[in-house]
Amino acid sequence: MLVKSFTSAGRATKARNRMREPAVVDSERSADVIVVGAGPSGSTTAYYLARAGLDVALLEKASFPREKVCGDGLTPRAVKALVNMGIDTSEKSGWLHNKGLRIIGGGVRIEVDWPALSAYPSYGLVRPRTDFDQLLARQAVAAGAKLEEQTTVTGPIRDERTDRIVGVTARTAEGPVNYRAPLVVAADGNSTRLSIAMGLHKRDDRPMGVAVRTYFTSPRHDDDWLESHLELWDRRTAKSTLLPGYGWIFGMGDGTSNVGLGLLNTSKAFQNIDYKDLLTAWLGGLPEDWGFIEANRTQPVRGAALPMGFNRQPHYTRGLVLVGDAGGMVNPFNGEGIAYAMESGEMAAAAITQALARPTAASREQGLQDYPRLLKSTYGGYYTLGRLFVKAIGNPALMRVATRHGLPHPTLMRFTLKLLANLTDPRGGDAMDRLINAMARVAPAA
């Protein structure tokens, strides 16, 4: 190991307890890498780091199982990331498979299969986040990461001479603890207090979304398709306005459906909308026999922000690495975050592993700078296209035309699904793949 592993009070603590003396908290612990947050990005990062033989402290403020706001639907891009981690995604292991996306809007209903690609599987998944996040965290532990639950990181520890982060302070059930490591990974979500404490604030020129969701008992729980409704109307004035966003219905296969909506901040009405009221109004327009009524609701309505298109940068600086939502990696086209959280975690782990194996500080820094470059080469142009798309659909008239005239054309919708879900073969593929890949290559990465 590059750095001394965790220490603990161990047998000495047990002996003191037997003598009824107060236990002394081990207030200093060390590792090769500290990962703050055990969501999809943090657990994936920790998994790959531990598998490479590094000593990893994975710090989670809650305890599993724990709640997270999410649609619970996974595209084939996320399925690939799961398979790469050795996760069994079969139905016998509790995963609900789906064929593709059912899109409803403008009086049209169309079902579009996930594309058949060499780079990605042709099925999606559904799994509750309470179970999903715990599964990934346990996979990281199985690889050798040390998971510390109920550990709230309260701030960075900095080297006064270099201003580098060299650890974190944390509050645990046993008392305050300092964790020290040469590198720290911020996987603490959109709020990412650790990044903010290091002076990394979000960019206001990047789109932001809001998602709200809840669960209902419903006969639609066992659906082969993820369902997206493209018409969300703001009816607070005499002239209704079509909002930039969509509603979703994802059957969970357990008697319930995850029902929610996502809305972009490109609408003038964004700041003044009560999202729970909007959800209620949208549900009120759905068929009664689907069961989405208050009497059938099984969980509270909860909301979360969706940080999009690299809205926090740089993704590496002064010993701090940003992954997932902490780095604003949600796809602007469709609001998907889990696939990019896991992929960025794998990329970050590869860069960290290579860097820590180098003999000098200068060469380690050079290796770590490869991570933000890889992110931009992988997603930068595509996210730029996404920002342009988000800006365009913020125009209600354009949104209405696209919904009304695009949906009736199956070929166009297959192209749209590939573009919005970022599902193309990177080498070769069909004409749609080549066009989308070319657009992403020529778009400037920022």
- On average, the pLDDT of the chain sits at 91
pLDDT of residue 307: 96
Using alpha carbons, list the distances in angstroms from residue 88 to 49, 64, 209.
Answer: 20, 20, 31
Query: What pLDDT score does 12 carry?
Result: 37
pLDDT in tens, 426-435: 988 899 999 9
Mean pLDDT lowest among 230-234, 303-307, 415-419? 230-234
Beta-carbon contacts of residue 36 (< 8 Å; ≥ 6 apart): 42, 59, 153, 168, 184, 185, 186, 187, 188, 194
Domain extent listing, the chain: 10-70+129-204+309-383, 99-127+206-307
More confident residue, 110 or 241: 110
Count how many Cα atoms sit within 13 Å of the Cα of residue 421 in the half-sphere of its side chain. Answer: 30
- Strands 146-148 and 56-59, sheet pairing: parallel
The lowest-confidence range among 67-76, 190-199, 203-212, 263-272 is 263-272
Residue type, 8: S
Q: Are 66 and 130 in contact (CB under 8 A)?
A: yes
**According to the model, what pLDDT value does residue 398 have?**
82
pTM of the entire structure? 0.92
- What's the pLDDT score for residue 1? 39
CA distance linking residue 193 with residue 220, whole number of Å: 39
Is the alpha carbon torsion for 137, 332, 125, 66 positive or negative?
A: positive
pLDDT score for 396: 76
* pLDDT attached to residue 134: 97
β-pair partners for 264:
209
User: Tens of pLDDT along 343-376?
Assistant: 999 999 999 999 999 999 999 999 999 999 999 9
pLDDT value at residue 243: 87
Phi, psi of 150 (to 5 degrees): 50, 40
pLDDT recorded at residue 162: 95
DSSP 353: H
Alpha helices in 108-200, H assignment, sequence order: 129-143, 193-197
Is the pLDDT confidence value at 61 over 70? yes
Q: Is the CATH number of domain 99-127+206-307 3.30.9.10?
A: yes
What architecture (CATH level 2) is domain 10-70+129-204+309-383? 3-Layer(bba) Sandwich (3.50)
* pLDDT recorded at residue 8: 40
